[in-house]
Amino acid sequence: MKSEGLIDRGHFVIIAAPRNSTLVQRAKAKGIPTYNDLEFSRKFSLLNKIDEVLKVRNLIEVNEIDIVHTHGSQDTWIAATAAIFSHRKPVVIRTRHNIFPISTHLFNRLLYRKMIDKVIAVSNGVVKIFEENKLVPYNSIKIIPSSVEIEKFSAMENGTEIREEFSIGMDTPLIGMVGRFAREKGHEVLLSAAKAVISKRPDAKFILAGEGPEEENIKKKAIQMNITNSVIFAGFRTDIPKFLAALDIFVLTPVAGESLGTAILEAFAMKKPVVSSDLGGINTSVRHGKTGFLFEPGDSDELAKRLIELIEDSSLRKRFGEAGRKMIEEEFTKERMVALTEELYFEELEKKKTKTDK
């Protein structure tokens, strides 16, 4: 999405990513130039890493790249090293998307303090991680939130397709979550809350979209808790706007790692009220009592209480949903994210030019 916006503004963009990655496939489908002769493997092989550094350096030279923008650990190390050995000496920018702890060992200190020109944090939660470990000075960090394709996530969808697919009545209170089944996502917290909600509102149903390593464990727990009649596992979905449209309430229950919650932004774009763990920078968008409710990570009792409150108050659901959509339109659009990113690019290019001229 950012690449498309930058191209629309007249910039040349090329996406370098591992072979057969979904990112490359999506870029090719949209006509964005790609380079995919890379692996970015976590398995360390000195020869392999040197080969990839040389490939990226060549990519920088041949395409006359001015800025290298990375998003993960492996690509950052390779790209930043390639930039050092490139004659062009491009600006290196790293976006940090999660709040998992960052090791402050010697190599990371070298990377963040000497090899990267600027760090983009998607939320104040990410900034807090850097403040705590003192890895990056505050003036080397800029907050640029993620964004939503407003046109794609239209509040005009009515949700009938998903409800019909899973035989859910249009009047049935439906609470949903979208996310990978992994321990840090806290699906067990949601199941505990679901059991409490169902005891008070047996008409309510929960629907979970996604797949992942913890999926089978969560399904087994639902069976053990005797709530399988009220909890639907929808699997991996490509029709997220339609899925969100079917919901009355969107919920997210992370217990670690979440920095902003893109799924939350998408739910707000669909005018859905949100109940989420107060983790990382989620409170940037879920504003307690204004666009949704926040609860302490892992507190299933508070989650259940807030869900019941929203199930029983349609006017509150509508108010939160309307406020969330308005917030997205004002603060989380693609246009705003691209403009802020472009502004940062120009600032860093000017700084590098000034240093070079001295």
Q: Which of 194-203, 239-248, 251-260 has the lowest mean pLDDT?
A: 251-260
DSSP string, 31-96: T--EE------SS--HHHHHHHHHHHHHHHHHTT-SEEEE-SHHHHHHHHHHHHHSSS--EEEEEE
Which domains, ranges and CATH numbers included, belong to the chain? 2-147+333-357 (3.40.50.2000), 160-331 (3.40.50.2000)
> Which contacts of 66-74 are long-range, i.e. CB under 8 A and separated by 24 or more positions?
66/90, 66/91, 66/349, 67/91, 67/92, 67/93, 67/345, 67/348, 67/349, 68/92, 68/93, 69/93, 69/94, 69/95, 70/94, 70/95, 71/95, 71/97, 72/40, 74/40, 74/41, 74/42
Rounded to the nearest 10°, the torsion over CA 339, 341, 346, 352 is 170
Residue 244 clears pLDDT 70, i.e. is over it:
yes
pLDDT at residue 157 in the model? 76
Average pLDDT over residues 159-183: 96
The whole-angstrom separation of Cα 160 and Cα 171 is: 11
Which two structure tokens, joined as six digits, stand for 319?
Answer: 């108010």
Q: What is the pTM of this model?
A: 0.85
- Split at pLDDT 50, 70, 90, the class of 251 is very high
- The per-residue pLDDT for 280 is 85
Give the pLDDT band of residue 252 (cuts 50, 70, 90). Answer: very high
Q: Which position has the higher pLDDT, 40 or 144?
A: 144
What would the mean pLDDT of 160-185 be, rounded to a whole number? 96
Give the pLDDT confidence of 326-346 residue by residue, as tens digits: 999 999 999 999 999 999 999
What integer best gives the mean pLDDT of the chain? Answer: 93
Q: What's the distance, Cα to Cα, between the start and end of the chain in Å?
A: 37
| Alpha helices by DSSP H, the chain | 2-8, 22-29, 46-62, 73-85, 106-110, 124-133, 160-165, 187-200, 215-224, 240-245, 262-269, 300-311, 314-331, 334-357
Q: What is the DSSP string of 118-142?
A: EEEESSHHHHHHHHHHT-S-GGGEE
Taking CA atoms, 313 is separated from 80, 155, 295, 319, in Å, by: 52, 20, 19, 10
Span 291-320, mean pLDDT? Answer: 98
Q: What is the pLDDT of residue 1?
A: 63
123-140 residue pLDDT tens: 888 998 898 889 998 889
Q: Which amino acid is at 316?
A: L
User: Does position 357 have pLDDT exceeding 70, yes or no?
Assistant: no
34-44 b/e (C-beta count within 10 Å ≥ 16 → b):
bbbebbbeeee
pLDDT of 281 over the 90 cut: no
